[in-house]
Structure 1
């Protein structure tokens, strides 16, 4: 018991010193701790070692904090980019929806125009057929009227002449009984072509039917 008390006092005496926690102890069979070594001047380098360790830990902590701060900044930048991309995508979606509506409207208009084109084509075919019939009738009529045409040759041509009056006089001389109705019988009277020097142009007479 006396030894245990003595050892306890020795340990208490060593606790205030920095090197006390570094000393090795052994436990005897009675459960008491005995100091294996006594404090000496060799324990002083441990303070320097601790200082170096603390400085290293502080430096590592600074590096870690800087890395964390950089990571936070990167995350904030990514959030900003993500927000901008979200706005851009929303704008693109609106544009696509608008274009889809425009395309749908144009399709409807195109459908209506297609129907109008079909109607116009049918109308054009009908008008073309009518025009061909009218042209044929006109040709037939012209051909029939030409049967009543008369060509006069070598009738003296004068400057600023009244060709119709001159031809009417010739007809009255040939057919005196036409004198009162010659103006009704004659339809058109004209010379053919351009004036010729010293040579009279032919005259075409067309009679009324």
Structure 2
């Protein structure tokens, strides 16, 4: 009996050993199969091909964005001032209307001023003619001494009577005005005397006689037309 049991155990052991050997061989073959397979690298996913963006389009896009931003900012700045701008426009229109009125007034004044200038020119010409005409009635007398209380008119009548005695009795009526001129410098000579006559005939006769008068040659007096 004991020998039979040992035999059974040995059979069992042998059988188990046979099983283990097969199992090991199968496992080894599986390991070899696993380890012998090559490692295949994984490829990255292919990106989708889109339309390429050119540099010009990028610049245009950036500029458009900046322009839009600035436009919005300017619109925000201008909008609050719209009422002020409208008020300024009304003020400018009013000022322009006033300027137009002033231009019209200035034009009228300019026209009147030109008329006045023409009148002034005419008056100046007439005054010059009158002065020249009045000077024809005058004579200038030099060298008459100055005294403290001199009666210039009486002295002039005396000199005229000595120069042209033919009109001796007419001189008090013919000699109209007599006056001395002012002194223009520090000259010590007596100031000249202006004589105005009311008769052109006696004025001319006295002037001609004075040019040849012995009285003027003997004295320091001299006569001259103005």
Q: Which has the higher contact order (CA 8 A, sep 6+)?
A: 2
Larger Rg: 2
